[in-house]
Amino acid sequence: MKNDHEHDETKTGFVRGVTRRKFLKTMGSGAAIAAASDALTGRATAEAEIVKPEVIVRVNLIINGLRRSLVVEPRWSLLYVLREQLGLTGTKVGCERGECGACTVLIDEVPRYACLTLAVEAQETRIVTLEGLLHGERLGAVQQAFVEHDAFQCGYCTPGQIMSAEGVLRSNPAPNTAEIGRAMSGNLCRCGAYAHIYKAVGRAAELKGIKGGVS
């Protein structure tokens, strides 16, 4: 039969051989270590927060026909600047490593991945984003063709698809199916709407011809 002392130890969670004094001393040491660790972590966080970029540069970009002068960090991608600095969110964030094509824009008429292009690299270039294809409230030819042929499902990749299509049609106004396939190969559609996309590009070529080359 347990005596009163043993009963108290069981209720409080103490085990035989460990006194209350030893237990409290151990807990106190652990708390001190934890507090020291928190203090060091807090200091490191505070130091990290006050670190500022050593270099900032001014770049001049011609975006959708408008000249923009911006102060940027050299490490900023064109994708970041378009979305976060200029609010041009038609350019989508996808893989951010040049694999999906969701961030495609035109740079000097050539489709490029904005995630792999530094803003400083685009100095004095002519950049066209999805917003730049609109004519007021009217859709551009490629945008209209994508609507007509239901060339999207979730729609997330659609801006990049449209910009790649716009790029190929500016360099080749009447591409065949094989040429369309090659031109669009850098843009992934996880919904698998490729057949509709190819038809939309062909239709956009027709619309551009009808409209005299207007985007």
User: What is the residue whose two structure tokens read 């927060």?
Assistant: 49
Q: Does 134-215 match 58-128 at the fold level? A: no
Phi, psi (degrees; rounded to nearest 5) at 28: -65, -40
* Encoded tokens for 172: 């080749």
**Coil/strand/helix, residue 187:** coil
- The pLDDT tens digits along the chain (215 residues) read 445 444 444 334 444 555 656 544 555 555 555 555 555 555 555 554 555 666 899 999 999 999 999 999 999 999 999 999 999 999 999 999 999 999 999 999 999 999 999 999 999 999 999 999 999 999 999 999 999 999 999 999 999 999 999 999 999 999 999 999 999 999 999 999 999 999 999 999 999 987 655 55
CATH homologous superfamily for the domain 134-215: [2Fe-2S]-binding domain (1.10.150.120)
Helix, strand, or coil (residue 155): coil
Where in the chain are the domains?
Answer: 4-49, 58-128, 134-215
> pTM of the entire structure?
0.74
Q: Pick from 56, 184, 78: which is nearest to 129 by CA?
A: 78
Pick the CATH number of 58-128 from 3.10.20.30, 3.90.10.10, 3.40.50.510, 3.80.30.20: 3.10.20.30
